[in-house]
Amino acid sequence: MSEPVVLGIESTCDETAAAIVRGRELLSNVVASSMEEHARYGGVIPEIASRAHAEAFVPCVSKALADAGMELSDVDAIAVSAGPGLAGCLAVGVSGAKALAWAANKPIYGINHVIGHIAVTQLQFGPFPPDTLALIVSGGHTSLLHVEDVARHVDVVGTTLDDAAGECFDKVARLLGFPYPGGPHIDRHAQNGDPHAIKVPQGLTQGQAGARHPYDFSFSGVKTAVARWVEGRQAAGLDVPVDDVCASLADSVATVLARKAMRGCEQYGSKTLIVGGGFSANSQLRAKLLEYGERHGVEVRIPQIKLCTDNGAMVAMLGVNLVEAGVSPSAPDFAIDSAMPMTKISM
Ligand code: KG4
Ligand code: ZN
């Protein structure tokens, strides 16, 4: 089928989203977020998020169809995030998508949300060249993947041994008193700070550990080092230079990610690095990756911000890839998988 039309539905965490993609063209993209309802708890409350999905599901899908000037009968397939994510949240999106597929007699694909973050770059940059490497940086994942065929085969090259980069930022942000999610606040403050003000470790880059884990990441040491430093200042009655703390943290994390990604590209002979996930909205990381990419002769493809954070377009785009590749749709009784492994692309 050429230029398949796919409705993509997303509900893994605190965004309910629906979008329509035709081929590589984004026809509509609707996102409703329950983020503000979680802010006062300092993190996403699954029960509140699930309830918000139940409320937003039909309005989001209706608007995505209306914005594209379509009815459900016009789409060729429905794709929905089946994992990884919060079980209750996934259940709302998957149940809703199954109901639509059944009522309209459409094929349905339960897809991997993380692979969606990679797939979405095609809307901006076109198809993947061979031997593409992908850096996934989201709230829950920090991984380097080798994309052989986005519809059928993805390998894990490296992954975080403890915290994800986004998680590390969110934890330091809490310590500094920023509301959830703290990542964007650190980004903003870092823009006014000195990235070399505080010595922050760069996990798994040196010595034996670095040699043993050339493509793996560790961010819990960074988080602890920054926390100790801040607590030391507070205990001594000194004020905390927030901008400098943020800039030093952001520089350390961005440098490790960029260095390891480039090393992976060298190893796999890859001239293209795809970047995806909510944390790829981070301006320090974007700048560092583009700088390193230029130096190493690697084209770095980072999507525009609205496609970095969770959305339906990423789900629809991966759905298009699956239809184009002739992958069988998911069975009507497919389950959600809150711990879906990155090597599994669809259910
Ligand atoms: O991919 P995502 O939207 O949700 C997951 O699937 O996890 O990623 C959310 C993460 C959060 O940790 C958030 O703090 C972080 O992305 N984030 C940022 C920025 N924007 C979002 N971190 C640093 N700088 C940003 N500008
Ligand atoms: Zn995500």
> The tokens of 155 are what?
């390998």
Verify whether ligand 1 is closer than 6 Å to residue 165 (CB atom).
no
Q: Which residues pair with 113 in a beta bridge?
A: none
Verify whether ligand 1 is closer than 6 Å to residue 85 (CB atom).
no
pLDDT digits (tens, 9 = 90+) for 290-334: 999 999 999 999 999 999 999 999 999 999 999 999 999 999 999
Residue nearest to atom 7 of ligand 1 (CA): 139
pLDDT digits (tens, 9 = 90+) for 25-57: 999 999 999 988 888 888 889 999 999 999 999
Verify whether ligand 1 is closer than 6 Å to residue 280 (CB atom).
no
Question: What ligand 1 atom has the least distance to the C-alpha of 166?
Answer: 12
Tell me the DSSP string of 245-272.
Answer: HHHHHHHHHHHHHHHHHHHHHHHHT-SE
pLDDT digits (tens, 9 = 90+) for 238-297: 999 999 999 999 999 999 999 999 999 999 999 999 999 999 999 999 999 999 999 999
* 114 marked as part of a ligand binding site: no
pLDDT of 122:
97
- The answer to whether the predicted template modeling score (pTM) of the entire model surpasses 0.85 is yes
* 113 marked as part of a ligand binding site: yes
Verify whether ligand 1 is closer than 6 Å to residue 170 (CB atom).
yes
Q: How confident is the model at residue 181 (pLDDT cuts 50, 70, 90)?
A: confident
The rounded percent of the chain whose pLDDT value lies above 70 is 100
Verify whether ligand 1 is closer than 6 Å to residue 116 (CB atom).
no
The ligand whose atoms approach the alpha carbon of 280 most closely is: 1
Question: What ligand 1 atom has the least distance to the C-alpha of 167?
Answer: 12
pLDDT digits (tens, 9 = 90+) for 102-157: 999 999 999 999 999 999 999 999 999 988 999 999 878 899 999 999 999 999 99
What structural domains and CATH numbers belong to the chain? Answer: 5-120+308-325 (3.30.420.40), 129-305 (3.30.420.40)
